[in-house]
Amino acid sequence: MNYSNILFEQKNHVGILIINRPDKLNALNDKTLDELHDCFSSINNDKDIYVVIITGSGEKAFVAGADISELNKLDKDSAKKFSEKGQSIFYSIENLGKPVIAAVNGFALGGGCELALACHIRYASDKAKFGQPEVNLGIIPGYGGTQRLTRLINPGRSAEMILSADIIDANEAYRIGLVSKVFPADELMNKAIELAEKISSKGQIAISLALKSVISTEELTDTEGQKLESDMFAYCCGTEDFKEGTSAFLEKRKPNFKNS
Ligand code: COA
């Protein structure tokens, strides 16, 4: 994969995607969004990649938002397409069927915070900063932020962040449940890779169905979600991995999952 604004590398079964416009604090311009879309389509088709990590290039930013020089040119019609395009790409990240970890290494503002929100797990460096400062520009979040942030933290906190445009630090993000863990900056990537390797070592059918069940809470009622969970649970019990996992426990050995 050869891109101008993102870098992609694979270590074992882990794909590492780096947004790479450090001179613009990794702001998401249209080309970067297209490359993200293309890269995630390839990841989706690549059976050898089990887990994805997204981070930002340089020491300062994860992603400092949508590119304001492009935003500035929008009118009412083009703005609708702009928002729908970003929403659709972030939806496809959330629904990739493989875990996506955001390793938030610096500013995650506007579309950058929304990108982190579309990931399944967020780890942050102690230098990370989060915010939805769109109202400072006379707009509102347009890549799913009003929805995902509100579900993840709570309506009051989400409204406070979005309406005040305040930027919060990593410890505050941890306190309100926006990120799972905070690490010293130089440990962040290793910790994200460690988690990705741990997830990669499990049976991937169970991983993808567990993820599907967790994500389903976004769209299903509790009754529908419980049904989906029991369908997925039953499906797992028909796999070789289930036989291997339970037998390995009983035989006091490590399981050797074949993802079948
Ligand atoms: N879109 C386009 N360019 C951006 C950008 C964005 N979202 N965020 C930063 N940049 C660019 C700056 O214009 C600057 O480019 P230049 O060197 O060509 O002038 C470069 O990145 C460095 O940013 P700078 O503002 O000089 O860094 P800073 O350390 O002084 O401030 C921020 C960092 C993050 C506080 C500041 O860049 C900022 O507020 N960015 C916009 C955040 C935002 O509103 N995001 C939501 C957009 S919807």
14-19 and 6-11 strand pairing? antiparallel
Position 116 confidence tier, pLDDT thresholds 50, 70, 90:
very high
pLDDT at 149 > cutoff 80: yes
pTM score of the predicted model: 0.97
| Choice from 25, 114, 135, 164 to test ligand 1 binding pocket (greatest atom count within 8 A of CB) | 25
Q: Tell me which of 3.90.226.10, 3.40.50.300, 3.40.50.720, 3.40.50.261 is the CATH number of domain 6-200.
A: 3.90.226.10
Percent of the chain with pLDDT over 70: 100
CA 23 to chain centre: 23
Q: What is the pLDDT of residues 128-145, one digit of tens each?
A: 999 999 999 999 999 999
pLDDT at 46 > cutoff 70: yes
What average pLDDT does range 21-35 have in this prediction? 98
Q: Is 69 in the pocket of ligand 1 (CB under 6 A)?
A: yes
Q: Is 128 in the pocket of ligand 1 (CB under 6 A)?
A: no
What average pLDDT does range 224-234 have in this prediction? 97
Torsion angle, alpha carbons of 170, 52, 230, 256, to 10? -120
Q: Which residues, in sequence order, are bridge partners of residue 9?
A: 16
Closest C-alpha residue for ligand 1 atom 18: 24
Write the DSSP string, 93-141.
Answer: HHTSSS-EEEEE-SEEETHHHHHHHHSSEEEEETT-EEE-GGGGGT---
- Of the candidates 134, 187, 219, 224, the residue annotated as catalytic is 134
Mean pLDDT, the chain, whole residue set: 97
User: Please, where in the chain does CATH 1.10.12 lie?
Assistant: 204-250
Q: Is 65 in the pocket of ligand 1 (CB under 6 A)?
A: yes
User: Please, where in the chain does CATH 3.90.226.10 lie?
Assistant: 6-200
Position 191 confidence tier, pLDDT thresholds 50, 70, 90:
very high
pLDDT at 63: 98
Burial readout 113-139 (b: 16 or more C-beta within 10 A, e: otherwise): bbbbbbbbbbbbbebbbbbbbbeeeee
pLDDT at 2: 78
Phi-psi region of 203 (alpha: psi -120 to 50; beta: other; left: phi over 0): beta
Position 246 confidence tier, pLDDT thresholds 50, 70, 90:
very high
CA distance 68 to 53: 25
pLDDT at 214 > cutoff 90: yes
pLDDT at 130: 98
Q: What is the pLDDT of residues 58-87, one digit of tens each?
A: 999 999 999 999 999 999 999 999 999 999
What average pLDDT does range 186-203 have in this prediction? 98
Ligand 1 centroid–CA 142 distance in Å is 18
157-165 contacts at long range (C-beta below 8 A, 24 or more positions apart)? 161/130, 161/131, 161/132, 162/132, 162/134, 162/135, 163/135, 165/131, 165/132, 165/133, 165/134, 165/135, 165/136
**114: annotated active-site residue:** yes
**134: annotated active-site residue:** yes
Q: Which atom of ligand 1 is nearest to the CA of 25?
A: 21
Q: Is 111 in the pocket of ligand 1 (CB under 6 A)?
A: yes
CATH number of the domain located at residue range(s) 204-250 in this protein: 1.10.12
pLDDT at 1 > cutoff 80: no
What average pLDDT does range 3-25 have in this prediction? 98
Closest C-alpha residue for ligand 1 atom 19: 24
Q: Which atom of ligand 1 is nearest to the CA of 139?
A: 48
